[in-house]
């Protein structure tokens, strides 16, 4: 039987959730100090509409030179706060990312009172596009953009990671737009290269409901309808439902004593990702609650950074092409491929190459971990397992482009 978490008194008022988060409620304790050793740019509007809920803060590491890989970290608030970026685990999770050389972006997003799902997902995807569209201005290395989030922020991050390449989410008669059209950078991709999830709700249809003290649930407020009789509307907001072979690497941290978001939520997403051969890890924190010192222990912060570093290194490996000749005199040779243009799909790249009079002559296909899968003058998709690949297209004129290819 599902457990109800009752919230009474002041907690019945949605506007009180800023305090609730500080006391350890659904938002959990989120050290709201500052990001250590980072230069802050505050209140940048990522949509251009002047709304507070569409602003973000940027933290650039002081001790390293750019360009900087990026982590977008979203606060937890039971989807109820629209101006909480100043309490987005700044002194803990975000500081660990910045110390490791990552630029950290902490966005606001619309609350359930401002708009219903999928508006919040549209906001986070607009942030991803903003990062890509402003790479030069902020010295972002957009070869690696990851998402991270605590609690409901982890939920939005999990959806961002698992819905890459999907324009719509469908369940039964319900269809939702998974991308949106916010901001001026809509031509850029909203896909990400990794995700770190802290105490996340993932399948809100199966999670323990969070009661608003007799006036419905937090999940119902977020979706716009309560669960009973509305399964499809809740399913399209649940990340395990979207898990697929081409999802980026995902790591989850969840406390065994979390009495706000049951640990089975992370287990369900982990199992779904493993079933699709996605690179994923699930760290069960013994005695950990919903946020707090045990969850944010240095050991866990180090594991999160190491996971991102490994995912970044694996993606970077596709830029190194080893010649097929493995004779002794050639074993040390490598052929470095310049960054080039990265396309969402290989077919998008081919018209441009041919317009330049540069028909492809070889294709080098790499798995996400950097393994060279094949090299041929013909791109044979039939031999590939379902998943995400990078294809280095070479031409007789010496042009090389890196393209993203998804085999369904």
pLDDT digits (tens, 9 = 90+) for 1-24: 333 333 333 233 333 333 333 334
* Mean pLDDT in residue range 89-117: 97
Radius of gyration from C-alpha coordinates of the chain: 22
* Mean pLDDT in residue range 285-293: 96
Please report which confidence band the pLDDT of residue 407 belongs to, taking 50, 70 and 90 as the band edges.
confident
CA 104 to chain centre: 13
With 0-12 / 13-18 / 19 or more C-beta atoms within 10 angstroms meaning exposed / middle / buried, residue 192 is: buried
DSSP line for 162-208: HTTT-SEEEETTEEEESS---SS-TTS----SEEEEES----TTTSP
Please report which confidence band the pLDDT of residue 386 belongs to, taking 50, 70 and 90 as the band edges.
confident
Residues 204-242: pLDDT tens digits? 999 888 777 667 899 999 999 999 999 999 999 999 999
pLDDT of the residue at 44: 98
On whether the CB atoms of residues 157 and 124 are closer than 8 A, the answer is yes
Put simply, whether the predicted model's pTM sits higher than 0.85 gets the answer no
pLDDT exceeds 90 at position 152? yes
CA distance 374 to 383: 10
With 0-12 / 13-18 / 19 or more C-beta atoms within 10 angstroms meaning exposed / middle / buried, residue 200 is: buried
Strand 320-321 relative to strand 280-285: parallel, antiparallel, unpaired?
Answer: unpaired
On whether the CB atoms of residues 226 and 217 are closer than 8 A, the answer is yes
pLDDT of the residue at 144: 95
Strand 360-367 relative to strand 387-395: parallel, antiparallel, unpaired?
Answer: antiparallel
pLDDT exceeds 60 at position 340? no
pLDDT of the residue at 368: 67
Q: In what order do the strands lie in the sheet with 38-45?
A: 38-45, 55-61, 103-107, 68-74, 140-150, 194-198, 250-255, 280-285
Report the candidate in 256, 262, 252 with the shortest Cα–Cα distance to residue 206. Answer: 262
Please report which confidence band the pLDDT of residue 316 belongs to, taking 50, 70 and 90 as the band edges.
confident
Report the candidate in 260, 297, 305 with the shortest Cα–Cα distance to residue 281. Answer: 305
On whether the CB atoms of residues 392 and 367 are closer than 8 A, the answer is no
pLDDT of the residue at 29: 56
Instruction: Give residues with Cβ within 8 angstroms of 311, minimum separation 6.
Output: 144, 146, 193, 194, 248, 249, 279
pLDDT of the residue at 315: 82
pLDDT of the residue at 390: 76
CA distance 193 to 195: 7
The helix or strand, by DSSP H or E, that contains position 312, with its residue range, turns out to be helix 298-316
């Amino acid at each position: 039987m599902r457990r109800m978490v009752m919230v009474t008194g002041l907690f019945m008022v949605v506007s009180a959730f800023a305090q609730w988060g500080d006391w350890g409620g659904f938002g959990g304790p989120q050290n709201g100090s500052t990001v250590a050793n980072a230069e802050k740019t505050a209140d940048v509007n990522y949509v251009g509409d002047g709304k507070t809920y569409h602003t973000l803060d940027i933290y650039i590491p002081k001790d390293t030179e750019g360009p900087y890989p990026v982590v977008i970290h979203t606060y937890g608030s039971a989807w109820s706060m629209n101006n909480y970026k100043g309490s987005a685990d700044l002194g803990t999770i975000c500081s660990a990312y910045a110390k490791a050389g990552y630029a950290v972006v902490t966005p606001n997003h619309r609350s359930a009172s401002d708009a219903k799902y999928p508006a919040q997902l549209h906001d986070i995807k607009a942030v991803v596009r903003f990062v890509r569209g402003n790479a030069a201005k902020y010295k972002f290395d957009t070869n690696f953009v990851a998402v991270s989030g605590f609690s409901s922020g982890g939920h939005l991050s999990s959806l961002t990671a698992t819905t890459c390449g999907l324009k719509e989410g469908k369940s039964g008669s319900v269809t939702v737009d998974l991308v949106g059209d916010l901001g001026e950078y809509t031509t850029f991709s909203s896909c990400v290269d990794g995700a770190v999830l802290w105490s996340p709700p993932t399948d809100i249809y199966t999670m323990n409901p969070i009661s608003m003290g007799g006036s419905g649930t937090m999940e119902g407020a977020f979706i716009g309808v309560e669960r009973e009789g509305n399964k499809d509307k809740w399913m399209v907001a649940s990340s395990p439902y979207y898990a697929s072979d081409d999802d980026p690497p995902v790591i989850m941290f969840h406390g065994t004593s979390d009495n706000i978001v049951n640990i089975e939520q992370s287990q369900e997403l982990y199992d779904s990702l493993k079933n699709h051969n996605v690179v994923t890890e699930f760290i069960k924190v013994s005695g950990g609650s919903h946020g707090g010192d045990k969850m944010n222990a240095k050991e866990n912060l180090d594991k999160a950074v190491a996971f991102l570093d490994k995912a970044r290194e694996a993606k970077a490996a596709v830029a190194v092409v080893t010649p097929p000749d493995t004779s002794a005199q050639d074993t040390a040779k490598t052929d470095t491929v310049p960054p080039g243009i990265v396309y969402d799909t290989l077919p998008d790249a081919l018209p441009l190459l041919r317009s330049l009079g540069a028909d492809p002559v070889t294709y080098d296909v790499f798995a996400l971990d950097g393994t060279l899968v094949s090299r041929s003058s013909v791109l044979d998709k039939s031999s590939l397992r379902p998943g995400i690949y990078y294809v280095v297209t070479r031409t007789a004129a010496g042009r090389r482009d890196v393209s993203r290819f998804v085999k369904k």
